[in-house]
Structure 1
Amino acid sequence: MGQKVYVARLEPKFATFADQFGTRAALILSCASGSAFFLLMSISTSIPILFLSRLPAVFMHGLPGAQKVITDMTTPSQRADALGKLGLCFGIGIIIGSALGGVLSTKFGIFVPMYVGLVGNLINTMIAMVWIPSQAKPKSDNRVTEHSTSQSGSVFSIREILRLMKFPGVMEVFIVKVFAGLPIGLFLIMFSIISMDFFGLEAVESGYLMSYFGVLQMVVQGLVVGKLTNHCTERTLLRLSVFVFAGVGLGMALMRTVWHYCIVAVPLVFAFSTLGTITDSILTKAVPSSDTGTMLGICASVQPLTRTVGPTIGGVLYKQFGVSSFGYLQLIVNIGLFVYLLKSEIPLRELKSQ
């Protein structure tokens, strides 16, 4: 748990590092750290070396780095669609990587996946050094960025995070981002236990169910979200995702079998993917372009923080009130957020892809 807290704290600082020293430097640091991680893991024959191998992992933030490249290389109107397609790529990597890792470890030994991971990260490091521009500039940004107060000496200052929260609409959207998916996050953290106790699934069946969830996420992020951003404003999509989340909560409260969950998973993945992509897009547009890396890092820290407090809160909810408590909590929280979004006038840059 301590490492999860540490990683959650480092993600905003890592992204701020990208703002100050360039996306290429950040990606090289991330990929090189991944290489060091897999190298140490491949020679871990004792407990001390195994613990030592976890140290480079605090700098392994490939997703925020890739998101920074996307925000720098796309216009604001294209950003949500591009971030959705990036999520598709990472989803494909997770599914293929999980399957390949299982096959390699079964057929060739537990250390072979680590060797493959080491080679892959070395290749990624070379790609970042050769093809990623040192300072990628946005194609179009009507905002005057000179007003940013970011200082080179404040890469690791919490004041930068607090400063960004003062921009119009940032605090409100970030609060929606955190709380709308929190009950679902608690449920997913407890899912390994719930799948056995509540659904009665074996380990292999749970793996198939998670693969189904991953495929749904790839389809939604890669195809659905991008299409919606071409026809709907981000304000509309933000409200829609919260509304669907409320419906998901009702469905979770009423589900009794794994087949019910498979049905609920469709709107669940839609709301989860849409909310994440749209809020990331909104928040990066709400701050100066020189601060988009820090903003992405703050967004990326939400999930590690949820994983840190999730086991305790989720365990209490499941033990005291059962699986339905996650659904009712999801329903209540998102109804409140939906009413708030309807009544509030959060300043957003209403842009659609052309």
Structure 2
Amino acid sequence: MKTAVEVIRKLKAAGFEAYFVGGAVRDFLLGKTPGDFDVATSAEPDQVKAIFDRTVDTGIQHGTVLVLTGGSGIEVTTFRTETGYSDNRRPDKVDFVKTLDEDLKRRDFTINAMAMTEDLEIVDLFGGRRDISEEIIRSVGEPDERFQEDALRMLRAVRFSGQLDFSIDEKTLGSIRNNAALIRTIAVERLKVELDKIMANKHAARSIGYLIDSGLADQLPSGEIFRTDWSGFIPTPDPLSGWLYAFWQNAKDLSALTAYKFSNEEKNTIKRALDAASIEQWDSWTCYIYSSKQLEFAAALTDRNSGWIRMKENLPIHSKSELAVNGRDLMEWTEKKPGPWLKELLEEIERKIVFSELENEKDKIKGWFLNEYNRDK
């Protein structure tokens, strides 16, 4: 915060207005430590760049310049208005303005439409402080206008309900119901970012309740997966836990993996965790072939106790690379060429070691192997 205060003071010393805006002000009033401090100013981008030695044009067409100072970066954005949202997401035109009032009018919700001076004085034109005290999410001005400007705001309202454990104002919620179909105009990548944040919310079940009640779920790709009982879901900071819960509750229908463009790593984690959850009795082999993360997710789905953690920690080996022998050893001992037999015998050795039926020592493995090999001849 100290660095951001210095940025504000330097802008003001140059004759411009400057304030903290957005989520930082909201979090400050909630008694939380803001993660980011954004600054709004009457200075235009070229003027901001003239005041500070080091800047980056992160969004200069929309008036945003990243000021690098004090070992961190502070986003500084010129007061602006936005008009013409032909794609229901981005403004067709951005105009720089000179007053804070005009800038705050364009913001999404009252709790995000406040400003704060460097001396911590709050500028609240739309009742944001009241809505924070009443734990309400309410649109700035007419909600239909706000959501038709940017349809993603509807999903943001749902996300904030769980993030802050707030209710959505009835007029705002009614507008989401009326405009829910507009969410289809938003790129699926943007939808997943918001849904990931919803899944990781402490009060995710509340958000998903609004997702269903508002009609947004019916407009989302594979939206039927959200229509399940979320009372048993315990959120974690990893959003995959929420997606996994939805898939598990919906009889493991993985169609949404394609719909939401999960990364290969995410898809693998989801599929493997669901496979592990389907195994009735976990043994040493289960703990060996699945990662700790996959097992942790699977255990949460099936209410298993934490005994698997000790079982995994105490495994004789944790990966095939730890085996004391390899395929070359087996070929040398048998003078045979590679073939399916090699993979089968290596896996048998691996399983016996994992189950502590054979010590992971080369000589002992060789003795067991030659005995078994010669017995089958």
TM-score higher than 0.5? no
TM-score scaled by length of structure 1: 0.24
| Structure exhibiting the larger radius of gyration computed from Cα positions | 2
More strand per residue: 1 or 2? 2
More helix per residue: 1 or 2? 1
